Structure 1
Amino acid sequence: MMNSMQLLRQHCTTLLMISLVGVVLFGCKSLTTNDTVDYKSSGAVRGPNLSYPPDLITAQADRRYIVQDGSATMSEYNAAVKKSVQTRNNVMTGIPGMRIARDGERRWLVVEKPAPELYPQIKDFWQENGFLLVIDSPSTGIMETDWAENRAKIAQDFIRKALGGALDSIYDTGERDRYKTRLEVSSPNQTEIFITQRGAIEKCVSDNSGACNSTIWTSRPNDPELEAVFLARLMERLGMSQEMAKAQVAAPLDLKAPKAKLIQEGVNTAHIEMALGFDRAWRDTGLALDRSNFTVEDRNRANGIYYVRYVNAKDLGDTKGFFTNLFSSKDDSSLKAKKYLVVVKSTGDNSASVYVQNADGKPENTAAGLQLLTLLTEQMAR
């Protein structure tokens, strides 16, 4: 169901149509979702999200990883696009040994190439699909896009067909997506590529009378199908045919019983037990972090450590909304994320445990530590 702000946009469009062509409309067509994904239709060259609510602006990313304040001149952009096209033409022969791997409902891409060779191609891939990167870290193999709107979710109704793109700014899905890509080196000449999606939705805030007088942005559930779409597109970008890429991604998922269990030993003392060997436990922990409200700053696979930052919106005591708390642009120390260590330890050939430590490497035996482990367990159990 559309919220009041979306209804207002639709009615404004209807009134404008009446004034232009004198046609009396008997209703507004609601938004529908189709099978296409298009984050570029509102303009091939995307600048900073000045038209988006300020609480969707990321302020937590390390400045070392932000791409030139998220903007570029037209000439710089055109030069980058030309370079990307040339790069694409050079890789259309494909990469041998590229395949989709899966475990339960999780999918990821395995490529027989070193990560340093793949990273620039994947960066170009996201830019070609209409995204800006707010995190771009070749040294850690992590990149993350800005929030973007999937314009394919907007129905091509009578009004839009009549007036073309002139009214694009009036139509809005009330949803935003961002994507994180993480490259893991599984062997010197083999790279695992993980794509995870996070979503936001615009919701009404009602006053005492029940009327919707404002909106806030809040998180919405992760969508594995959107992740699958971009895995298939990335395979095409790296040289696989569209038919083969879609067939690999569309293969039935092998849904299994949950492999993670939260073990609570005291009031705030807990850890996660996983019925997996270290390699799979490390991978599942990384995916759980990517899909949750964590920022992975660095990782040390040899020691089983993810260095992360986390913002707990509930602890901020603010009613402005999830993204106001999480992505506030104010330089307020109370809004800065806390640093933690998420440690994966092997306890046997097919077992591992996950612990949360504070920035000093000591056990985080607090309510916050228990909450972080609970969030990770929920993601791992999917």
Structure 2
Amino acid sequence: MKPVLGALTLALFGSLGGCGYLTGEDGYFRDRGSDYQGVVIEPRITVPEGIESKPLGDLLPVPGQVTAKAGNEEFELPRPQPMIVSADAAEFSLQQNGSVRWVQAQRSAAEAWPLVRQFWADYQIPVASETPELGQLQTGWVAFDLQADNPLLRRILPAIGQGRQVEGQEHRFRMRVEPGVQGGSSELYVTHMSRSQGGTRTEWPENSDNANLERAVLAELETYLNQSRGGASITSLMAAQAGPRATLARDGAGNPVLTLQSDFNRAWASVGQALSQADIRIADLNRSAGVYYIDLAQAASAQEKPGFFGRLFGRDEEQEDTAQRTEVRLTAVGGNVQVTVDESINEAADPRVATDVLERIEANLN
């Protein structure tokens, strides 16, 4: 009985294959690889006047010319060109087109949203309102003169520009996370708005009140996202034994910043030891404020303590150091610690001096 059923089955499939019922041109499992050749290219969509839109490129461009093969030879569908992906390419990058700036993220809008939200939380900037389903977020009002100890405000302060008023002004930022042109990507936009403290202005401007502040915040956001994308706040036991990992980069104002992937306690001890090994004199320190006061005019090894008569009749050492002190400031941001070099809490040090100090600290970190 079984041989008879097998023969009938082979005969049935053979007859179906012969008439092309399954795999022929009109079959259920026909080859659709050349269907695109019969597609009609429709004209581009025109957006009515008065409606905002952004230009969209061709997501699936059709080849301009396809050479037909002679005779009845079957057309071979060309394979797509491989994408060139660099292992060192940044997942987040600052882009600009004319006066429009944004951070390009190689992540979907849903994946980028919590990272953006964490950026403002780590920098202790209050969020006044947020609409995750629309990808929009508005910060509360902040004042540079009243919140000078905030690390983000301190670093973007130079972007305000010389001659612009700081006292009596307050600022806020609006962030938008939009889907990118390419699938799986998104674009992050920032708008800046300012007013006098206690003012009644509430309507957002079409463009940022200060384009330099907008760019500085975007640059800070780009650096933050690239440093935290790999779970920089998580350190293993091996990393803890080898010392904190350090990355030297620049903030939105162009000032150097050394980021340590460590908790504050370990970073404080490591930076203090690195300063000593780099032969940089520590004139004073304030751990609660996270500041080492250093004297770049005198090496630590050349420091000589005054004798009895020198201490009795000489000038107070505290007074001598005050005019020459430079601040090495440690600020906890999320799971990392950022090290900057300042002349004061409101003034960054010369970029060349700051870079030299931070490079010496980085070279001597254990």
Same fold (TM over 0.5): no
Query: TM-score when scaled to structure 1?
Result: 0.29
Query: TM-score when scaled to structure 2?
Result: 0.31
Structure that is richer in helix per residue: 1
- Higher Cα Rg, which structure: 2
